[in-house]
């Protein structure tokens, strides 16, 4: 009997070069199975691309990930774009990045329509009754997870506390908090570098899983070599891809139209998503709920619940926000409500993810050329610390709307509280998968609503 696949012979030689078709099919599959937020998505890519398929080495994988971590935007989607670009040039990066998002967009459009059209039915109401307390526990877990990684000294704790006070008590806008934290990190990195040496990186590469198609010593391919002309070309094309649709919106609908304002608002949001979707959601809430009134606070909570239950980046919750806003504002007239929501969701997805592609295609060659650690660690560390305070504020926001749905003047919803506590125990104590917790809480909520009907 031959030796098992896990023995050494299979790892002595690098796999054959990967065709664009094989890579395309993998990225398509990944778009449908990428649950678990950025940590889960990055883990799936590591298992598939580094350990199992050996398309890229551990060192090159982490080098790309470190770059994606310092960028605004969804790091898992950017990492897929980076690896796709490294393997198959520009179209490889576009295919990987688009397929990471596209299934989620279609699923969220369908679920958003079911929610807005049939949200009052026992089925939908019951599922959301169980999901929303679970999401509250998930947000608390996110704050804890990031906090334990980021807050390694008293100075970083102070930044997190100041961030929480700034957004909770002073209602300062999230962009101002990000800029302030970055400045503190830039200055502190020079004055007290030992205080800002945590975060930003993901450690050193572990022992090799065997030769990879793109290995540590594989020469940088020609398309990944840095050239000023290539950088200028990518920047120009990216600017046009933003300016042309924005110009058409302004010229055809006017600056104050809902779709135009959505495009502008979510462009700004895309440039501020340091620390992941949990960090930018307060900014989205401030704008979409507080300023523009595209949806209500309870609907925003429901949107995050939907985002947690679908594959793809969590920031895809913006598609739900846009769908509900376009639908309720009837931006294409009262006879085209579904189309209005679908157009708004698609438009917002374009403006949200376009910067990520530009960052990778423009900056990737520089990163591949250097193969050295990035110098942005201190600002990123400070931003990550500030994000902890922002996410804590988000947890309080969800807890208030879920546990006291009628306000503090009304009694607490003890059933929702019990579901939230049970979800927290499952996540913190028993380390259960997020999707399992959401499904369990959703079914429990549905059963309760059916019994109470």
Q: In which band, very low, low, confident or very high, does the pLDDT at 141 lie, cut at 50, 70 and 90?
A: confident
Q: What is the pLDDT confidence band of residue 176, given thresholds at 50, 70 and 90?
A: confident
Which residue is listed with tokens 């050239």? Answer: 227
Task: Determine the pLDDT at residue 431.
Answer: 84
pLDDT above 60 for 321: yes
Distance CA 178, CA 70 (A): 13
Task: Delimit the domains of the chain by residue range.
Answer: 20-200+228-452
Any idea what the Cα angle at residue 392 is, between residues 317 and 380, rounded to 5°? 80
Task: Note the pTM of the prediction, 2 decimals.
Answer: 0.73
What separation, in Å, do the N-terminal and C-terminal C-alpha atoms of the chain show? 62
Instruction: State the pLDDT at residue 242.
Output: 97
Asked if 401 and 179 touch (Cβ cutoff 8 Å), the reply is no
- Contact, 44 vs 33, CB < 8 A? yes
CB-based contacts of 186-190 (< 8 A; 24+ apart in sequence): 186/378, 186/379, 188/155, 188/378, 188/382, 189/377, 189/378, 189/379, 190/378
% of the chain at pLDDT higher than 70? 89
pLDDT digits (tens, 9 = 90+) for 360-402: 999 999 878 765 444 556 787 788 788 788 878 878 877 888 8
Between 69 and 126, residue with greater pLDDT: 126
Task: Quote the distance between the C-alpha of residue 382 and its chain's center.
Answer: 19
| Predicted pLDDT at 3 | 41
CB–CB of 322/348 below 8 Å? yes
Question: How high is the pLDDT of residue 5?
Answer: 42
pLDDT of residue 39: 63
In whole angstroms, what is the distance from residue 313 CA to residue 109 CA? 15
Structure tokens belonging to residue 189: 């990195």
Q: How does pLDDT run across 236-260, given as a tens digit for each residue?
A: 999 999 999 999 999 999 999 999 9
Q: Which of 173, 210, 321 is closest to 258 using CA atoms?
A: 321
Confidence of residue 297 (pLDDT cuts 50, 70, 90): confident
The stretches of 151-276 forming alpha helices (DSSP H) are 154-168, 174-191, 228-253, 258-270
The three-state secondary structure class of 411 is coil
CA 130 to chain centroid, in Å, comes to 23
Give the rounded distance of the alpha carbon of 110 from its chain centre: 20
Averaged pLDDT of the chain: 84
Please list, in sequence order, all residues whose beta carbon lies within 8 angstroms of the beta carbon of residue 108, skipping any fewer than 6 positions away. 306, 307, 310, 316, 319, 320, 323, 345
pLDDT at 2: 40
Coil, helix or strand at residue 6: coil
Predicted confidence at residue 90, as pLDDT, reads 95
For position 12, what pLDDT does the model report?
64
Instruction: Report how far residue 42's alpha carbon sits from residue 76's, in angstroms, rounded to the nearest whole number.
Output: 6
The answer to whether the beta carbons of residues 209 and 11 sit under 8 Å apart is yes
Query: Quick check: 323 and 109 in contact, CB under 8 A?
Result: yes
**3-state class percentages of the chain: helix first, strand second, coil last, to nearest 5:** 75, 0, 25
Instruction: Report pLDDT digits (tens) over 38-47.
Output: 666 777 788 8
CB atoms within 10 A of CB 196: 27
Nearest by Cα to 125 from 328, 298, 311:
298
Which pLDDT band, with edges at 50, 70 and 90, does 201 fall under?
A: very low
Q: What is the DSSP string of 307-344?
A: HHTSSS-GGGHHHHHHHHHHHHTTTT-TT-HHHHHHHH
* Ordered DSSP codes for 260-300: HHHHHHHHHHHTS-TT-HHHHHHHHIIIIIIIS-SS-HHHH
Query: For residue 17, what pLDDT is reported?
Result: 86
Query: What is the C-alpha to C-alpha distance for residues 244 and 35, in angstroms, rounded to an integer?
Result: 33
Residue with tokens 């967009």: 105
**What is residue 11's predicted lDDT score, i.e. its pLDDT?**
57
pLDDT of residue 202: 44
pLDDT surpasses 60 at 91: yes
Closest CA to 78 of 88, 65, 91, 60: 65
Confidence of residue 310 (pLDDT cuts 50, 70, 90): confident
């Amino acid at each position: 009997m031959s030796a098992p696949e896990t023995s050494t012979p299979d790892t002595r030689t690098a796999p054959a070069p990967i065709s664009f078709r094989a890579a395309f099919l993998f990225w398509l599959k990944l778009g449908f199975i990428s649950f678990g937020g950025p940590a889960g998505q990055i883990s799936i890519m590591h298992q598939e691309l580094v350990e199992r398929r050996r398309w890229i080495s551990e060192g090159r994988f982490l080098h790309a990930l470190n770059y994606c971590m310092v960028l605004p935007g969804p790091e898992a989607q950017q990492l897929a774009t980076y690896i796709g670009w490294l393997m198959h040039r520009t179209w490889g990066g576009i295919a990987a990045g688009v397929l990471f998002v596209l299934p989620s967009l279609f699923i969220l459009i369908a679920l958003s329509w079911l929610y807005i059209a049939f949200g009052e039915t026992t089925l939908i109401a019951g599922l959301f009754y169980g999901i929303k307390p679970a999401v509250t526990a998930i947000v608390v877990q996110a704050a804890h997870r990031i906090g334990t990684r980021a807050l390694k000294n008293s100075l970083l704790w102070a930044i997190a506390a100041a961030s929480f006070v700034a957004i909770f008590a002073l209602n300062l806008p999230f962009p101002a908090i990000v800029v302030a934290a970055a400045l503190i990190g830039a200055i502190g990195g020079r004055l007290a570098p030992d205080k800002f040496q945590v975060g930003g990186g993901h450690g050193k590469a572990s022992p090799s899983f065997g030769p990879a198609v793109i290995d540590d010593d594989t020469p940088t391919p020609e398309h990944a070599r840095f050239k000023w002309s290539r950088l200028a070309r990518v920047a120009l094309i990216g600017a046009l891809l933003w300016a042309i649709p924005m110009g058409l919106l302004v010229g055809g609908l006017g600056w104050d139209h809902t779709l135009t304002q959505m495009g502008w608002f979510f462009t700004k949001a895309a440039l501020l998503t340091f620390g992941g979707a949990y960090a930018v959601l307060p900014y989205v809430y401030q704008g979409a709920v507080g300023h523009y009134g595209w949806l209500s606070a309870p609907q925003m909570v429901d949107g995050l619940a939907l985002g947690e239950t679908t594959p793809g980046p969590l920031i895809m919750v913006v598609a739900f926000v846009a769908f509900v806003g376009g639908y309720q504002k009837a931006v294409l007239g009262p006879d085209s409500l579904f189309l209005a929501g679908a157009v708004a969701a698609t438009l917002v997805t374009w403006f949200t993810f376009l910067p990520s592609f530009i960052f990778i295609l423009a900056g990737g060659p520089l990163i591949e050329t250097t193969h050295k650690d990035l110098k942005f660690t201190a600002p990123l560390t400070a931003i990550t610390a500030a994000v902890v305070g922002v996410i804590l504020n988000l947890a309080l926001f969800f807890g208030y709307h879920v546990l006291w749905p009628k306000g503090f003047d009304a009694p607490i919803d003890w059933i929702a509280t019990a579901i939230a506590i049970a979800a927290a125990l499952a996540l913190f104590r028993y380390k259960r998968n997020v999707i399992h917790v959401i499904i369990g809480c959703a079914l429990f909520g549905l059963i309760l609503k059916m019994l109470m009907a």
